[in-house]
Chain A
């Protein structure tokens, strides 16, 4: 396929049937609408382009900034679209909670503004939330902001009513599915798709999924947060259910490992929530001989959520056992095996030893630059650990004095070096803090 612009590749995503052996529903065909296959990687490509297009085509002088409240896929799509059109993009957000996405946005060239946290010493008469200031900045005379306003902009819904919805109907041979399941973020996809499906068949049931209140699933709002969404209308949904991040990761893993769908947690939540709800309906269909269809949306891809998974299920990213390292020495082993010397002895040794020891300061370069023992070299502890993994980094003929802030890490490293066969490595008891407190000299760069 040949295109003049990547924006032409937005939409027309596949509808893929999930193997019944995976979901276990006997009378329902479950389909995944693979919005993750949009060119920028998510369902948000559609509304982003649909909302931004009029702004971008008008901003021919390259002099504007597209601005949106988003910490995820909408920001990503808008940033790329802004880049194509030579304008800037600014994302305003409460917190970037997924570090990979933040880095990706920076790579794309987005500017990120993170709003302050809640006041600790509250003044109840000040009910100005940070968003009020955001809107004030937008309406400043002379403002060159192009605000796409995804939570209130009807073009967000239209993008799905004109694209996603009709595509589903077409791929189901002109029929609407019996169930449509969507996670509710801006409510754009669920509202737009539901509108089209109901026009085809008013009996379509729409299940909206929200996150548990104290939980966090990217792209999904909690039950309270949906009420702050201008596009959200409770009447769109036959049922609103909540899902947990645990379920989202479970669903994600099923889609990835058993279906070949590299879904992120939002898609996982939709899958898991869909199967959970459909199971009741499936039981009721027993013996009726009827078949039903259901469609859910796979919103985006897995790659950006590794840290999200690591936080919640580290075992899924099981790290291979690492080689020899100071952390492999326990505290009690370190105390038993490391040779530890006090500040006075260390001063004598480093001044008059024969040969004089190499003094290694394990603190960060900043701390080292600010104050250190004269003549010491700086190898920050993580790097030192990596060095040990490769073998002994010093000659056995060179005695070594290790120093860290309080003498704990240096003691572990000293024990590790001794195990590796170094005959004379010592740890500074009490570390640089004890050295300073004893009035021993420290110099700075």
Chain B
């Protein structure tokens, strides 16, 4: 067999400490079933502190809004609600998320309502004094109509902008930086109607500033968008409006894989496998978007860059330091000089290292007689742990049930199959290498699943159970747990208020 191609996860304390307590994790799965989501509410507070440190370094003011859609957990939301109200808020994208945020202790002024909105969502957001991140001039009209019709107070609004690649800044002549088209926001060149509407509706809405969210890892595209928003807000001031906040959305990224070398070795091997010069790395030779055309690789790998040297707060820092294309000053300077608050909406990166998903091994058998690879059947399906759905490739950590002796067994390639009666139900199409062959009853821990991988795609197909979620906390040498819905940031986890 080839040398094992690992993609071992980046694990930082306290997640590392939790993973080393095999007994505790097994006892949780025994009691609560498989799959099981485990969250560390304290870790989310530490991530907030890391983002705040970047704000401080750049002397910036403004709020960090957690993008709720990344995880449905109450524990995470309640832990965030306990943070300083001036600096931590929540970004909600549905009326249910808004209700949940309110129930978790966020007051309306700390809530940002984003995404597509129906009337109920708009009404409740306006009623509780949330900031409404407006998608279009039409939405502004609807909101304004609701405020008038129901006698609601003036609502704080941001306007989401898009279409920055049509912006013709001076100094940019001859160059066009393309961006993916977005279905959200008002294109920058169509903002005249929007501005006119903002001026018309000053009684019902208070214009707070501009917003954007770009689906890209490209820091240059974001620096351009940020600068265009600053220029847009200048234009707003010239018309007598007084915006003072810029919301730059999220997309700061997470580093899932620990070692650059493993990531590079694996992606090189994928190219070679697609070319047919080495055995496939995947179930049925799946190429993750790469294809072989006459010996040349075509297409782009539809993979999240799972190893990232800078992600999360580091990425924000890089963005703020990047020179902007028109004015030449870095975004942090632009924000400071123009007296704007910076709002960010991190999801994935704010819950980095905040949780893991556990699954019990049900059955292990060889794939065939030659390859030495095995099928490992898990008590979960691809919806329960959806890293693959987001193009994230990273190994699970094997937690043996018994006291496996060190050096017990050899590294082995396995295919992780799910509990649905469906050919396509693979936890990942990648051949995963584990340090030894698992046995029935062992548990696999999928690390760093709190961002979008826990409940975003979970479903009840075939009446399979969806994962329960628990919050855990370390007390001395031992871990304590409670159901996610029973967590409150005032009491020790699993205990009672003193």
* A positions within 8 Å CB-CB of B: 95-96, 102, 106, 109-127, 129-132, 152, 213-214, 223-224, 227-230, 232-233, 363-364, 366-367, 369-371, 405-406, 408, 432-433, 436, 444
- Tell me the residues in window 261-294 of chain B with beta carbons closer than 8 Å to chain A beta carbons: 264, 267-268, 271-272, 275, 288-289, 294
Tell me if A116 and B275 are in contact (CB < 8 A): no
Asked whether A369 and B59 contact (CB < 8 A) given A95-B220, A121-B390, A405-B337, the answer is no
Contacts A124-B391, A366-B234, A405-B59 given; indicate if A117 touches B221 (C-beta within 8 A): yes
Known: A114-B177, A367-B334, A367-B337. A119 touches B237 (CB 8 A): no
Given A112, A117, A121, A405, which contacts B175 in the complex, CB threshold below 8 Å? A112
Tell me if B339 is interfacial: C-beta within 8 Å of chain A: yes
Chain B, range 376-400, C-beta contacts under 8 Å to A: 388-391
In the assembly, what is the distance between CA of A95 and CA of B322, in Å?
Answer: 15
A106 to chain B, nearest CB (A): 5
**Is A364's CB under 8 angstroms from B271's CB?**
no
Q: Are A106 and B175 closer than 8 Å at their CB atoms?
A: yes
The complex places the Cα of A127 from the Cα of B237 at a distance, in Å, of 42
Most B CB within 10 A of own CB, among A116, A123, A444: A116
Query: Are A118 and B337 CB-contacts (below 8 A) given A129-B300, A227-B297?
Result: no
Nearest-CB residue, chain B, relative to A132: B299
Q: Are A116 and B296 in contact (CB under 8 A)?
A: no
Asked if B231 lies at the interface with its beta carbon under 8 angstroms from chain A, I say yes
- Which residues in A have their C-beta under 8 angstroms from that of B47? none
Binds A, one of B82-90, B132-140, B210-218, B404-412: B210-218
With the chains together, A122 CA to B391 CA distance in Å?
6
Q: A116-B179, A433-B336 are in contact. List 5 more A-B contacts (CB 8 A).
A: A117-B221, A124-B289, A214-B260, A223-B268, A364-B334
* Measured CA separation A386–B235 after assembly (Å): 30
Contact of A224 among B61, B174, B271 (CB under 8 A): B271
Closest B residue by C-beta to A126: B302
CB pair A228–B176 under 8 Å, yes or no, is: no
Q: A110-B174, A116-B180, A371-B339 are in contact. Are A227 and B237 (CB under 8 A)?
A: no
- The answer to the question of B120 belonging to the interface, with a C-beta cut-off of 8 Å to chain A, is no
Q: Contacts of B339 on A, CB cut-off 8 Å? A: 367, 371, 405, 432-433, 436
Residues of B within 8 A of A406 (CB): 59, 336
Output the residue of A114, A115, A230 with the most chain B CB within 10 A: A114
B305 at the interface (CB under 8 A from A): yes
Q: A113-B176, A433-B336 are in contact. Are A127 and B218 (CB under 8 A)?
A: no
- Residues of A close to B295: CB separation below 8 A: 233
Interface of A: prevailing SS: loop
Q: List 22 A-B contacts (CB under 8 A).
A: A95-B220, A114-B220, A116-B179, A119-B217, A120-B251, A121-B251, A122-B390, A130-B300, A214-B264, A224-B268, A224-B271, A227-B275, A228-B297, A233-B295, A364-B329, A366-B230, A367-B334, A370-B234, A371-B237, A405-B59, A406-B336, A433-B339
Q: Chain B residues near A214: list those with CB within 8 A.
A: 260, 264
Whose C-beta in chain B lies nearest to the C-beta of A120? B251
Top 6 closest pairs, chain A to chain B, by CB: A117-B218, A129-B300, A367-B337, A127-B289, A405-B336, A122-B391
Give the residues in chain B near A408, CB-CB below 8 Å. Answer: 59
CB contact under 8 A between A444 and B238, given known A127-B289, A371-B339: yes
Contacts of A233 in B (CB 8 A): 295
* Residue B338 CB within 8 A of the other chain: yes
Q: How far is the CB of B35 from chain A (nearest CB, A)?
A: 21
Contact A370 B391 (CB under 8 A): no
Q: B237 near A444 (CB under 8 angstroms)?
A: yes
Contact of A115 among B178, B298, B388 (CB under 8 A): B178
B296 touches A229 (CB 8 A): yes
Q: Which residues of A contact B191 (CB under 8 A)?
A: none
Contact between B174 and A116, CB atoms less than 8 A apart: no
By a CB distance below 8 angstroms, the chain A residues around B220 are 95, 114, 117
Query: Is the CB–CB distance between B179 and A227 below 8 Å?
Result: no
| A131 cross-chain contacts in B, Cβ below 8 A | 300
Complex CA distance for A404 and B440, rounded to whole angstroms:
66
> What's the minimum C-beta distance from B244 to chain A, rounded to whole angstroms?
9
Please indicate the chain B residues that have their CB under 8 angstroms from the CB of A96 in the complex: 175
Q: How far is the CA of A228 from the CA of B390 in the complex (A)?
A: 24
Chain B residues contacting A125 (CB-CB under 8 Å) are 302
The answer to the question of B9 belonging to the interface, with a C-beta cut-off of 8 Å to chain A, is: no
Within B229-253, which residues are at the interface with A (CB < 8 Å)?
230-231, 233-234, 237-238, 251, 253
Please pick, from A102, A110, A120, A228, the residue contacting B296 in the complex, using a CB distance under 8 A. A228
What are the residues of chain B within 8 A of A444 when measuring CB–CB? 237-238
